[in-house]
Structure 1
């Protein structure tokens, strides 16, 4: 099976808390189960959460004990949409990880995963009378799924047949379906609404009229009407039978992203980028009320009517979820009346009856010209602020990061301006600095050292995600001293990528077997450096495009099932480091040694200085170069220079912690060792090295010299000077 996976595979790791009871980024979709009072929310942090809303206590920040029930975790990217099916027994979710997942909504576990889509899955639609779900996304495809079949899928019975609807030419952002599936429609960046009969996959027609992306759609239960919302700022009501627009509502200043109606299809609620929610009477399109103003752009409106009360649940570009109790009359709301007659439209054409609205105030509004395109009336003196009766608070998300020079630590800043420090190798937070400037913390922790990048960072989930790729994962070699490992010989060479992979998959049976078989041969080297990572640390194997192949965690990689899957899917570059203990190769840097001369920089100096060209591993310390200069170029027997010298030209031996110049002073002879050690004592008082006229620190390594001081191509030129 492994031979079939020739695709480029990346490994990503999410640094997070074991329990994440609050959304850490925007909330994209909501579903409500009236029978249990449970609210389901889908977030951009890849997690679906379940909330208890039956407790109508006073607003509280303590969401863990008051509202939170559990998290449903299996997606690897934004969860864009969810629908409840089978009277609340099951939930279907759509994600930017290109998958659709079927959940047991009562117990909160994932039952199966559908991988039919080839790009982000953006929208779902549900026909409750026939238990049919439709999915659509950026791959321009619409698929139809029988919910009864989906809920019966198992590990062995994992084949499902789906129908598709063709015709879309652009990425699909919105989808809606009537309760018996006789009408399904899609909206896209094509600015056209396409209609099918889902029962026979037959095209019905297409509706033109919007001038921008169609972001939200609704279909009446009987399939006779469609309501659409667009980024062009308009809401349109369409007759499916006549295939024409029967009303255009221009209430919003900016794009309209969310729509909801009551069960009787008599009240329409719209919201979007302008943060306003409007109520429109669907029996009289001219009768509209400004219900409330939100704090953030609105992405989803959910209408709930129970116990004689009407509620609006809202979510959007915020980590918070709110519920508003609404009434049919509110003295602080605006009323707009239509003063023009409806004009007929051409079939499939744009509406000509853009409703002209005239402001009629029941309460003075302040600084709010809601219909600047439709009216110049500026009597308004005050915004309507309907307070929510429930707020489910989210948690801050990371929005800024700085990778420190040591390529092990990252400083982050979240949406509440908290600055923290993270240790990548340990996948945990190691410092909290509160609300300070991020540059101050970076300056405090940063060192003048250069370590090549061995990972990339993604913040799309609102949390730190570390991505490992075969092109650079083994690029960073450091000494035990630089890594701060006191239990290692200071000159022991360690590879950050190798350490990280072994730590992540330490519980994997292949890794364990390898250690057991080679215990007698293991030395104090990179191979035994393993960090005990938090067991909940999430591990994702995915294609380079971001399409996930496997989601697991440190705790589960040792399970029999997970271990078998990893054996098939693990990329070769990672498997060799984990299973075969193959050490990555060192990178080498060429450099030249030139003796100091007072006329070295003089243009009148016609003689080229004697130059020794060498190459060494990038981690070679300046101190080692000083030792070479002292023994070979200054203290040598004949003082001659060999232009073909090369440090450590042989393959790296993990057990050899020194860089051999040659056997003249790196020998097993105890006497020679004592002479050599004596010669190198206080070497700073005997030799000075310069690069670009800057004196070099003996503890700086060669790559740091090249990055911070040389800063150009070609051989690094180092000038040596003997101190008399």
Structure 2
């Protein structure tokens, strides 16, 4: 997700975009209700979308001059709501000028686009990059923009003239994911997918490896507030955030600045007076003068290589071999050769065997490290549909209970296999799983690095279990509980009680588990709270997705007060479940044939329809009842009757669904056989002989 915000005091608008949808959103920080404008198709290569689009409020959307659709939102949401929408053509980069009136976006179509945030219209598209535009930043004057791309280059744009004035190539040997200038715009710190962060002297076009991260650098943020020295915060694909110093020792810098070959490469292209001017006035002042004196140059969106910039210190000699001047090396033009990865084994290294080895970074260790949890990289639902197996980037495997949002087990590394390697995630999953079949009632993903559980009314009520099998005190063998219903109650039990107090003037709600008194689980309705799942100790965030065209709601499940606004933000079906009024669908059914083994008495009804959750023990009881067998006190049904499938005696704890999945393994109705165990007594008036 990309965000951009103005820096001037009093500016209230900010922008957001990301992956998966077709819009860039503008927000008002004071309202925090709904986007003030939505810009669909922000990085499309062509003109219009070829049609009218309805805005979020349901009315027709307006159309910008270039044919793009601008949807004006009329949604009125509570302040607890945050809209999380992005753009279909993946937007990787957003940047705003200090006043918040100009927005720059970079996307997967290799384009840099300029937007007027006051009108929501796209002003121009800038060509030049040959890869995804991954980062962007605008200088304090709002005139210059610096972008980084997966084409390994940084580009400096003059937004007034709407053209690229310089390309910095040969610095990175990989995709440039992040870039941030210092306060004066004399230096740029840029990070790549290989974890290397370079400091580039824009005035003299020299770069040095500032520090090395162990993962790709997703973002850099300048920090000038610390008394320990100027620095940047680096966020990577790893879990930690680090602050690195950006100072470079003056003696170290001057030594390499006066190195003979490097001084020659700069002097040949720059001229002494231009270089001195750069040192006194910085990049922007020199650029003003050069652009004013420029005659011609490249057209809109292209670098003017033969124009006025060619004789400036910003223009590098394309024949100069970079990285030959010690720690500092000259940044080359766009045709400069590429170099290998951090390990020295990159593709570029193979093409340039005479290239010198990369120097050590200026800073070997971060000044500050904020540790974070390793992101989850693999996950799978276990067959019981209550537990999830998850593996994080550090290799730790945990078992989560989704009904309580807690880790119930941390697994040690699996035993090494025949090849000496640790057990794979799939092998651990197989070892941890049990042969049980329960319908999946939730969806799971870990795209954010954390587990996200999704409940929808179409599937949330698919799974149920007998209360007695869930160790519910006082439950009889007929009471079933719905897993989705009980999970919603665990999440919103406190909210439901607070909401009842609000609606009923403080009288509370005595239904289900929300009333606080003893609960007769056998007398509850299918949507009542049986209190079987405790509320999570660490309450999760709730992301409530409304029907298409409405806002998505992000809210904490902890600290809710039972207000009207909260009820309006929650999906209607969730509110009904929390209140115990939702019409829970009937249990899914299955059919099976129950026939006697050889020599056993027959039943009057051979085909039976029952809930899929029905256990084999219940089938034993059914046979006992139909044959009028004598069941003495203390005897279990399986002590009298044995059920078989495919010649295998079944575990009494198995459900019909489990038998169908793991024993029968066919698409048609399950075929079960029964036989009486030795010593089973038949009541005298049945006329049936004992086994």
TM-score interval w.r.t. the shorter chain? 0.5 to 0.7
Alpha-carbon contact 1:277-1:290 (below 8 Å) kept = yes
Give the match for residue 346 of structure 1.
298
By how many angstroms is 1:495 displaced? 1.1
2:33 is paired with a residue of what secondary structure?
strand
Give the match for residue 361 of structure 2.
384
Alpha-carbon contact 1:290-1:334 (below 8 Å) kept = no
2:657 is paired with a residue of what secondary structure?
helix
By how many angstroms is 1:218 displaced? 2.9
Distance 1:564-1:499 versus aligned 2 partners, 3 A rule: closer
In 2, the alpha carbon distance for the partners of 1:311 and 1:291 equals 11
In 2, the alpha carbon distance for the partners of 1:90 and 1:199 equals 12
Deviates more, 1:513-522 or 1:498-507: 513-522
Residue by residue over 1:359-407, the C-alpha shift from the partner in whole angstroms, topping out at 9 and shown as x without a partner, is 3242599964897599653332643261221222222233333322221
Residue by residue over 1:615-669, the C-alpha shift from the partner in whole angstroms, topping out at 9 and shown as x without a partner, is 111122223323434554xx4xxxxxxxxxxxxxxxxxxxxxxxxxxxxx6xxxx
Normalising by structure 1, report the TM-score: 0.65
In 1, the alpha carbon distance for the partners of 2:452 and 2:549 equals 13
Equivalent pairs counted in the alignment come to 555
Give the match for residue 610 of structure 2.
616
Instruction: Report 1:609-648 matches (<5 A).
Output: 612-632=606-626, 635=627
In 2, the alpha carbon distance for the partners of 1:215 and 1:186 equals 9
Instruction: Report 1:264-343 matches (<5 A).
Output: 264-285=184-205, 287-305=206-224, 309-329=229-249, 331=252
Give the match for residue 477 of structure 1.
464
Alignment of 1:448 with 2:435, yes or no, is yes
In 1, the alpha carbon distance for the partners of 2:122 and 2:563 equals 48
Distance 1:475-1:546 versus aligned 2 partners, 3 A rule: farther
Gaps of 5+ in 2: 44-66, 82-86, 271-293, 306-315, 330-341, 415-422, 678-690
In 2, the alpha carbon distance for the partners of 1:341 and 1:442 equals 62
Give the match for residue 133 of structure 1.
none
Give the match for residue 20 of structure 1.
none
In 2, the alpha carbon distance for the partners of 1:209 and 1:88 equals 34
Alpha-carbon contact 2:18-2:90 (below 8 Å) kept = no
Alpha-carbon contact 2:297-2:304 (below 8 Å) kept = yes
By how many angstroms is 1:415 displaced? 2.6
By how many angstroms is 1:540 displaced? 2.8
Give the match for residue 645 of structure 1.
none
Distance 1:93-1:533 versus aligned 2 partners, 3 A rule: farther
Structure number having the greater strand percentage: 1
In 2, the alpha carbon distance for the partners of 1:284 and 1:591 equals 82
Alpha-carbon contact 1:595-1:610 (below 8 Å) kept = no
Give the match for residue 541 of structure 1.
544
Distance 1:369-1:281 versus aligned 2 partners, 3 A rule: farther
Alignment of 1:189 with 2:191, yes or no, is no
Deviates more, 1:217-226 or 1:113-122: 113-122
1:400 is matched with which residue: 378, 382, 385?
Answer: 378
By how many angstroms is 1:680 displaced? 10
In 2, the alpha carbon distance for the partners of 1:115 and 1:200 equals 13
Residue by residue over 1:64-99, the C-alpha shift from the partner in whole angstroms, topping out at 9 and shown as x without a partner, is xxxxxxxxxxxxxx6x43647455998957476987
2:435 is paired with a residue of what secondary structure?
coil
Q: Over aligned residue pairs, what C-alpha RMSD do you find?
A: 4.6
Alpha-carbon contact 1:417-1:434 (below 8 Å) kept = no
2:631 is paired with a residue of what secondary structure?
helix
Give the match for residue 586 of structure 1.
587
Give the match for residue 705 of structure 1.
659
Distance 1:697-1:395 versus aligned 2 partners, 3 A rule: closer
Alignment of 1:428 with 2:406, yes or no, is yes
Gaps of 5+ in 1: 1-77, 104-109, 124-138, 146-152, 159-167, 599-608, 636-664, 666-674
Residue by residue over 1:182-214, the C-alpha shift from the partner in whole angstroms, topping out at 9 and shown as x without a partner, is 864332223222345667778764322211121
Instruction: Report 1:170-209 matches (<5 A).
Output: 170-179=89-98, 184-195=103-114, 205-209=124-128
Give the match for residue 338 of structure 2.
none
1:114 is paired with a residue of what secondary structure?
coil
Give the match for residue 62 of structure 1.
none
Residue by residue over 1:297-317, the C-alpha shift from the partner in whole angstroms, topping out at 9 and shown as x without a partner, is 112222344669432222221
Alignment of 1:695 with 2:615, yes or no, is no
2:182 is matched with which residue: 233, 244, 262?
Answer: 262
In 1, the alpha carbon distance for the partners of 2:648 and 2:672 equals 10
Residue by residue over 1:503-550, the C-alpha shift from the partner in whole angstroms, topping out at 9 and shown as x without a partner, is 222231566779536889965255341233036343332137798543
Alpha-carbon contact 1:502-1:577 (below 8 Å) kept = yes
Alpha-carbon contact 1:692-1:709 (below 8 Å) kept = yes
Alpha-carbon contact 1:689-1:696 (below 8 Å) kept = yes
2:568 is matched with which residue: 557, 565, 568?
Answer: 565
Alpha-carbon contact 2:209-2:360 (below 8 Å) kept = no
By how many angstroms is 1:594 displaced? 3.0
In 2, the alpha carbon distance for the partners of 1:326 and 1:624 equals 72
In 2, the alpha carbon distance for the partners of 1:695 and 1:301 equals 63
Residue by residue over 1:231-276, the C-alpha shift from the partner in whole angstroms, topping out at 9 and shown as x without a partner, is 1111122334544333221121111121211222222222221222
